[in-house]
Amino acid sequence: MKVLITGATGLIGQEIVKHCHTKGITVNYLTTSKSKINQSDKTHGFYWNPKQQEIDLNCFDGVEAIIHLAGATVSKRWTSSYKKEIISSRKETTQLLVSSLKKIEHKVKQVVSASAIGIYPDSLINYYDETFKDFDNSFLSSVVQIWEQEVNAFSNLNIIVSKVRIGLVLSNKGGALKEMVKPVKFGLGAPFGDGKQWQSWIHITDLAQLFLYVLKHQLPGVYNGVAPNPVTNQELTKTIAITLDKPLFLPNIPRFVMKLVLGEMHTLLFDSQRVSNKKIEDKGFYFEYHHLQPALEDLLG
């Protein structure tokens, strides 16, 4: 089998590529950087420029499925211009893939797109599953709604559309965990706010396997990419400290402090989303990491 991956050089993309190779899946990938175009037996790089709507159409040769991960990171200060970039990067990449497939004969049967649990409203009490539809107009929720709507356009080409709403990805190669670990290592760790906000996390290995499971079984629709047991921010911070054998003695970090430091982006640390993964488990997917401590021991041990 051959897949085309956008965002293959990012944190999640690299992990999915690794698992593709293990399973004997050949990977074509798209990159905006010509210096990152490499060719090997199992991996073939192709150039694209979504802003200019340019793409090497050879990237679709023999491809049966697309894993669509491309989009500007939300972990960067949300200036008004960067907020536009967060939205436009997701629209432009998706529109370019759709318009390109309309022009050519292809074998693509399925698209599995990244999405995010940021679509769900901030809540300490709700337990969200994929049937929830009462979204709000917060910035992150709006981004994800626009993103998912764009991805739906693949269905007009008789392509199965699958979306994985990704939670807090735990990896020792980058992302949020590395930033959380730094202050704890120096004895400066502390929960954010009252620490009661829910964090629906997932080990990066499970996330990569989940994408490929949705692909293998051609599962249509939306799936939450989170582990079975969400934790509060306080539990997360405490478990990181226990895993690293470091003390936690500082007071919790007030919301207004992080708002001064990060601006609107501080909501990433304080929004609470307790999210269920029952739908994908009911489809037979098995999570290797059900609980936080074994996941952290694997990543930080």
DSSP letters, 188-222, are ----BTTS-SEE-EEEHHHHHHHHHHHHHTT--EE
CB atoms within 10 A of CB 205: 19
Using DSSP, how many helices (H) and how many strands (E) does the chain show? 10, 12
Q: What is the pLDDT of residues 208-263, one digit of tens each?
A: 999 999 999 999 999 999 999 999 999 999 999 999 999 999 999 999 999 999 99
Residue at 288 is within a domain: no
- As a whole number of angstroms, the distance between CA 40 and CA 70 comes to 22
pLDDT score of 36: 87
Which residues share a beta bridge with 231? 199
The pairing of beta strand 54-55 with beta strand 231-232:
unpaired
Range of the domain at 90: 2-170+201-226
CATH of the domain at 210: 3.40.50.720
- As a whole number of angstroms, the distance between CA 199 and CA 193 comes to 13
Residue at 277 is within a domain: no
Residue at 258 is within a domain: no
Residue at 285 is within a domain: no
Residue at 232 is within a domain: no
Q: What is the pLDDT of residues 32-84, one digit of tens each?
A: 999 889 889 899 999 999 999 999 999 999 999 999 999 999 999 999 999 99
The pLDDT of residue 199 is above 90: yes
Residue at 301 is within a domain: no
Residue 131 φ then ψ, to 5°: -80, -15
Query: Residue 118 corresponds to which tokens in the numbers above?
Result: 């940021």
Which parts of the chain are beta strand (E)?
A: 2-6, 26-31, 43-49, 54-55, 65-68, 110-116, 160-166, 168-170, 198-199, 201-203, 221-225, 231-232
Q: What is the pLDDT of residues 119-171, one digit of tens each?
A: 999 999 999 999 999 999 999 999 999 999 999 999 999 999 999 999 999 99
Q: Give me the chain's average pLDDT, please.
A: 97
Residue at 257 is within a domain: no
Work out the average pLDDT over 183-191: 94
pLDDT score of 3: 99
Residue at 153 is within a domain: yes
How many structural domains are present in the chain? 1
The answer to whether 39 and 64 are in contact (CB under 8 A) is: no
DSSP helix/strand/coil, 4 = strand
